[in-house]
Amino acid sequence: MSWWGKVIGGGFGFMFGGPLGALAGMAMGHQFDKGLNITELESGNTERVQLAFFTATFSVMGYLAKADGQVSKSEIQMARHIMGQMNLNSDQRKAAIELFNRGKQDDFELDAILLQFKQECHRRTNLLQMFLEILIATAFADNSFDNAERTALKHIANSIGFNAQQLDHLISMVTAQQQSQTQTAKPSIDNAYAILGVTKNVTDSDLKKAYRRLMSQHHPDKLVSKGLPEEMIKLANEKTGEIKTAYEQIKNSRK
């Protein structure tokens, strides 16, 4: 049974407590009115991590969208775009929207949510990075970062174990990916290098290493096995497709 199937069937029982459990319960509470099975999944269980990822992603997206004082149409569209990519059913979409709206509230417990999410992920760095990349894409939905969004992202990144330099590196990569998606012509070679997180003077050997590292970090099957909800596999596939395209573009330019 999938993580969502356990939510529907009450198989998560009282879930995993803490602020994430409370948040998920509020967003999906109507699912738990029928005969709860109070046996919790063990900490670190893949399905438990998937529920934590789903809950944290959409709620923190809402928080980040509100960081500059108002939620733009572009940020709402980005959230809907991700929901669309996930092919959520009607109940899942309602839960995602409720989580997004909860994240916009003034009393949203960001630090507590991030702390528990990091603990639930059990040092799954690639999963935490995917979470951060989704948030960066949300912030860049209107093609710009203002100071409030950048400050919020820095705080979020630091809370889950990424320093300022790592965040800047991810921002450069994600914004290049976003720009390449909106270009009707072939993406620029500068964007290709930025997507791979390398400079133009990188050696062929180091270029290949960067490519292989990124492909491994975003491998859909690996991410799902670590706790990425199955519904988000399309996002991972798109990431690996963009990485491969950028690598091939650079290789061809060097011939």
pLDDT interval class at 187 (50, 70, 90) = low
pLDDT in tens, 207-237: 999 999 999 988 888 888 887 887 778 888 8
Q: What pLDDT, on the 0 to 100 scale, is given for residue 39?
A: 44
pLDDT in tens, 115-168: 999 998 888 898 999 999 989 988 887 777 788 889 999 999 999 999 999 999
Q: How far is it, in rounded angstroms, from Cα 46 to Cα 41?
A: 9
Q: How far is it, in rounded angstroms, from Cα 155 to Cα 140?
A: 17
Cα-only R_g, the chain: 18
User: How many domains, in total, are found in the chain?
Assistant: 1
Q: How far apart are the first and last CA of the chain?
A: 49
Confirm if 244 and 215 have CB atoms less than 8 A apart. Answer: yes
pLDDT at position 7 over 70: no
Q: What pLDDT, on the 0 to 100 scale, is given for residue 5?
A: 65
Mean pLDDT over 38-57 rounds to 73
Q: How far is it, in rounded angstroms, from Cα 195 to Cα 41?
A: 37
Q: How far is it, in rounded angstroms, from Cα 4 to Cα 159?
A: 27
In the three-class reduction of DSSP (H, G, I as helix; E, B as strand; rest coil), residue 64 is classed as helix
Name, of 68-77, 176-185, 192-201, the range with top average pLDDT: 192-201
Mean pLDDT of all residues in the chain? 82
Q: How far is it, in rounded angstroms, from Cα 111 to Cα 156?
A: 8
Range of the domain at 188: 3-253
Contacts with 64 (C-beta within 8 Å, 6 or more apart), sequence order: 75, 103, 135, 138, 139, 149, 152, 153, 156
53 Cα distance to chain centroid: 8
Using alpha carbons, select from 96, 72, 71, 68 the residue that is nearest to residue 82: 96
Q: How far is it, in rounded angstroms, from Cα 82 to Cα 65?
A: 14
Contacts with 115 (C-beta within 8 Å, 6 or more apart), sequence order: 159
More confident residue, 33 or 170: 170
Tokens matching residue 47: 């399905």
Q: How far is it, in rounded angstroms, from Cα 40 to Cα 185?
A: 51
Residue that has been written with the tokens 């292989």 in this structure: 212
Cα dist. 252→121, 202, 223, 233, 245 in Å? Answer: 38, 15, 29, 29, 11
Supply the pTM of this predicted model: 0.82
For residue 29, how many other CB atoms are within 10 A of its CB? 12
What burial class does residue 183 get, using C-beta atoms within 10 Å of its C-beta: 0-12 exposed, 13-18 middle, 19+ buried? exposed
